[in-house]
Structures are given as structure tokens and as C-alpha cells.
A and B are shown apart, each in its own frame.
Chain A
Amino acid sequence: GENVEQHPSTLSVQEGDSAVIKCTYSDSASNYFPWYKQELGKRPQLIIDIRSNVGEKKDQRIAVTLNKTAKHFSLHITETQPEDSAVYFCAASKQNGNQFYFGTGTSLTVIP
């Protein structure tokens, strides 16, 4: 089966700095890679996603890059703000239904 590894497990940055979270996957058949944000006590919510036919996608301060050859993808958050503090999960899935393999999460703290 698919194995998704996520690093780092915790990340602290100063407000205004950038944050980068990295994930690797093992199954070359995976073709969809979403990122979810989970604030304390709340449900995970999709913040950005990328498909295997695209190398990079950006949405305001958030961007995701994908390297299919190396089987890794990364989340980049620029100009971080305190409200970016949360746990971020990467995930990978194949086109065989809605079975997603999640990373173990990165707890991001933005220090004002």
C-alpha cells in the first residue's frame, strides 16, 4: 500500500517568516495530493491540492510543489500569520475511490 511520510512534526516560525512542510509518498500510482489544515478542536479542512499533471500550484500565500520523479511534495506558506497556527496534514490518493493516505501531521506555531 501507499506510505506517506511528513516532516517536520513540529515547526515554529516568527510571524512574517515562511514555513515549509515536506511529504514523500511511495506509490507512483498516486495522482492527487491534498493538504488539510486542522485547527485545535476543529475538523480538518482542505487548503490546497495538486494533481500529478501539475508541478506547482499557488493560492495567495499558500503554494504546493510536486516532484513526481522523487515522489515528494511540499507546502509553502509565506508571510505567516498567527492564524496559520494549526496542524497540517498532507495526503496522497490513487484514482480508485476516495481512499486517502495521510501523513502524521505537522504542528505549526506562528509566534507573534
Chain B
Amino acid sequence: KAGVTQTPRYLIKTRGQQVTLSCSPISGHRSVSWYQQTPGQGLQFLFEYFSETQRNKGNFPGRFSGRQFSNSRSEMNVSTLELGDSALYLCASSWGQSNTGELFFGEGSRLTVL
């Protein structure tokens, strides 16, 4: 079974631009969540989607948004990029409707904002 796939793996943007990251979950998994990982801050929850509906949202500004498609693939978008948005963005999928088990992480998309 293929794992969680994230694209692109690396990208460089400049301040003010916008970026879209993509995540394909493990087949059969309906929950997709996104985390921002920065040194010293650990993993910070951005949002979670289940069956195309956003169920939970973390404490990030409205510049961060996401969506989920009918095939469970998810995208997240960051508009008006700031230097502080430089981070590793991790997507995780899970089969359950609630916290019933393991999160399977992708390898991440490393965003650098110049």
C-alpha cells in the first residue's frame, strides 16, 4: 500500500507570494490533517479534513487555508507569504473519524520564504 505522498518536496518563494501544497493520503484514509514543523516549536496543528469537511482548525491566521477533494486528496494554501512561514509542512492521514489510531505522515514539503 502506498504511503502518504506530498508534493512538492521543496520549494522557495519570496515574501508576498502564495503557495499551494498537495497531499495524497493512504488509500482508504478519509482524514487528512496538516502540521507546521519548525525548529524548537515541534509540530503545530493547522487543520484537519474528513470527508471534504474541515473538522478542526488550529491557531493560524486566515492566510492559511485548505481543502479536501472527494478522493480524500488535500491541498493547503498559504497566501501573502511571510519569512516566518518558512517551515516543513507535514500532512498526515488516518482512517478513523476520531482519534482512534495512528497518524501516518508524509515526508513533508519544505518551504523557504526569502
Contacts and interface: CB of A to CB of B under 8 A. Distances in A.
B105 interface: yes
B43 A97 contact: no
Interface stretch (B14-22, B62-70, B74-82, B93-101): B93-101
A31 to B, nearest CB: 8
B105 A89 contact: no
Contacts of B99: 31-32, 93-100
Given A99-B33, A102-B42, A102-B43, A34 B98 contact: no
A62 B112 CA distance: 36
Given A43-B108, A93-B99, A96-B99, 19 more contacts: A1-B59, A31-B99, A44-B43, A44-B90, A44-B105, A89-B43, A95-B98, A95-B99, A97-B56, A97-B99, A98-B48, A98-B56, A99-B45, A99-B48, A99-B55, A99-B99, A103-B42, A104-B41, A104-B42
Interface of A: 1, 6, 31-32, 34, 36, 42-46, 49, 89, 91, 93-105
